[in-house]
Structure formats: C-alpha cells, structure tokens
Amino acid sequence: MSRKAVEMWVGVFVLAGLLALAMLAFKVGNLGSSNAGETYRVIARFDNIGGLNVKAPVTMAGVRVGRVARISVDREQYNAVVEIDIESRYDNLPIDTSASILTAGLLGSQYIGLEAGGEETFLEDGDRITLTQSAVVLEQLIGQLLFNKASGDSQ
C-alpha cells in the first residue's frame, strides 16, 4: 500500500472518530432531536428543583414523554415554575397527573417523573400540574442526620 493510500485511510478513521465524538456529545448533552414532533406545554410549580436543568427528560413509567422547556422563579410565591413540553402523542394524561423531581442513580442527573391520576379529563396546552413533589436534596438530608446525631436523638 502506498503512503498516500495509508494517509487517506488514517484521515477517514480520524474523521469517523470525530463524528462519533460529536454524536456522543449531543446525546450526553440532551441536544439531539429535542422535540421530534408536536408538543403541548404544561406548567408545574415546585418548592425546590435541586439541579433540574432545561432539556431534562420528563418520563412516565420509565418512557420519555417530553422535556423541560423552561425554568423560572415566581416573584410573588417564591417557588420554581417549570414549563414542560409533552409530546402530542401523549395527549391522554389525566388532569390530576402528579409530577416528581427524581434523580437518575445516586448522584445522577435529575429529571421529572409523571404519574397518571384517575380523572377522565386530560391535560391540555397551558394547564397546570397541581400535585408536585420537590427534589430531595442530599445535602439537606445529610445536614438533618448530623443535626439529629449532635442533639442526641438516636432514632
């Protein structure tokens, strides 16, 4: 094989490696195919969202049904307002669906988990999820444990 052919093949493999790295970066950063189809937006309020980020997955029964679209703070009630884009094919979520902020693994990224309620009316664009559970903050749990140990409570 000539030197020119070897250099060409090395270039092809380097290019393929760079493309693979770029695809991996998009996958890890939740940037690939953010919303493949139509969505509708619902709003949920939480006292504490922990490390929840925009574009974090929204799942139901382990299946991704949407993504976090926007996070802001209500300047009157001082809680987090999370806007969620849910794929239109999941347009049959009951109005009493609950939302919890969960963690993937022990120290993994946070996401929103939905649990369907039993109502016969469904969430629509602009509706609000009223049943929410805030993130469990590991630092607060450790602080409470240390405080209880220091005050002598062994229970």
pLDDT of 140-149, one tens digit each?
778 888 888 8
| CA–CA separation, 45 and 85 (whole Å) | 14
Among 47, 87, 48, 44, residue whose Cα is nearest residue 65 = 87
pTM beyond 0.85, yes or no: no
- pLDDT at residue number 69: 95
Backbone angles phi, psi at 146, to 5 degrees: -65, -40
Rounded-to-10 torsion of CA 20, 22, 25, 26: -110
Q: What is the mean pLDDT of residues 84-94?
A: 94
pLDDT tens digits for 44-85? Answer: 999 999 889 999 999 999 999 999 999 999 999 999 999 999
- The residue ranges of every structural domain in the chain are 1-32, 39-143
Identify the residue with better confidence: 31 or 144: 144
Q: How far is CA 6 from CA 12, 15, 17, 19, in A?
A: 10, 14, 17, 20
Residue with tokens 């195919």: 33
Residues whose CB is less than 8 angstroms from the CB of residue 22 and which lie 6 or more positions away in sequence, other chains included: none
Classify 106 as helix, strand or coil: coil
Residues 6+ apart with CB under 8 A from 83: 41, 42, 43, 68, 69, 70, 71, 72
pLDDT of residue 155: 53
Decide: 125 and 146 in contact? Cβ < 8 Å.
no
